[in-house]
Amino acid sequence: MADPAVRIPDAKVALSTASVYPESTATAFEIAARLGYDGVEVMVWTDPVSQDIEALRRLSDYHRIPVLAVHAPCLLITQRVWSTDPWTKLQRARTAAEKLGAATVVVHPPFRWQRQYARDFVDGIWRMANETDVRFAVENMYPWRYRDREMLAYAPDWDVTKDDYRHFTIDLSHASTARTDTLGMLDRMGDRLGHVHLADGRGSAKDEHLVPGRGDQPCAEVLERLALNGFDGHVVVEVNTRRAMSGAEREADLAEALAFTRLHLASATPGADGSSTATSALRAPRR
């Protein structure tokens, strides 16, 4: 009997600009184009280029690599980027996404000490989502741990599936740090899953963001499930390459992550028992 045909989903594979840190946003565009990624997700942070829509547009045009998503400045180190007001940050992220042609704004749930923002967050995200075609995809986080102590740093909850959002981002490294059932979280997100941050982890208290395949997260199973379900959002490689000893080593890690992602998104048709068969044929880069 002939082998089942390979089925390639519409999901594009992007590189997070955070994946090249401590290199620059501009370097991320260059690497993404050279390695054959479909686009980039811009992490808005302290790099001035990441905050400048016109500079990002020029990079996108020069490298012929689209901006597929904008990650709002939600980190501790970006408390003063694009204003100290969290709603202003989201409005500016939406504007950036609209002007750059990006489909998604990634946002974290508030920190617990942002009390008013946290109280209004779920309703406010719905209001903003109703004002644009850009998806506001709220990302799962994790408890903070120190030795045997645990602090719940996010509100309404680090597990975003406990609240009502139109779209979710699932981050596999965050799921690992939270020590939660990643596939169970994927099931709870269901058809509201709009965006994926692909990285691996080993359950450490630190958010590891390992190259997929180097930890114990079900990275391959998640990708194959997305393929079988016809996922048409974006899969973003968001890995930590800070320990790379050279630019060549960093690029090798990012090439490995891209190959892993394309391999497991290239899923064969399901068998009689509903399982999938991954093919070793890698898809040519979509440019």
Please report how many Cα atoms fall inside a 13 Å half-sphere around the Cα of residue 269, on the Cβ side. 5
- Burial group, residue 287, by CB count within 10 angstroms (0-12, 13-18, 19+): exposed
What's the pTM?
0.90
Q: How far apart are CA 79 and CA 61, in angstroms?
A: 30
Q: Output the DSSP codes for 115-164.
A: HHHHHHHHHHHHHHHTT-SSEEEEEP---EEETTEEE--BSS-SSGGGS-
Which amino acid is residue 203, in one-letter code? G
Q: How far apart are CA 108 and CA 113, in angstroms?
A: 14
Determine contact, residues 219/198, Cβ cutoff 8 Å. Answer: yes
Q: Which residue has the tokens 């102590």?
A: 149
Q: Which residue has the tokens 């998104």?
A: 265
- Angle in degrees, CA 266, 10, 2, rounded to 5: 40
Q: What is the pLDDT along the chain (287 residues), one digit of tens a residue?
A: 445 555 666 789 999 999 999 999 999 999 999 999 999 999 999 999 999 999 999 999 999 999 999 999 999 889 889 999 999 999 999 999 999 999 999 999 999 999 999 999 999 999 999 999 999 999 999 999 887 788 889 999 999 999 999 999 999 999 999 999 999 999 999 999 999 999 999 988 888 999 999 999 999 999 999 999 989 899 999 999 999 999 999 999 999 999 999 999 986 455 544 455 443 333 333 33
pLDDT tens, position by position, 235-283: 999 999 999 999 999 999 999 999 999 999 986 455 544 455 443 333 3
Reduce the DSSP state of residue 194 to 3 states and report it. Answer: strand
Per 3-state DSSP, the chain is made up of helix, strand and coil in percentages (nearest 5) of 40, 20, 40
pLDDT for residue 267 = 67
Q: At 241, list the tokens.
A: 């390459």
Which residues have a Cβ under 8 Å from the Cβ of 266 and sit 6 or more positions away? Answer: 6, 7, 8, 227, 278, 279, 281, 282, 283
pLDDT for residue 3 = 52
Pairing verdict, β 167-171 and 135-139 = parallel
Q: Which residue has the tokens 């980027």?
A: 81
pLDDT for residue 10 = 74
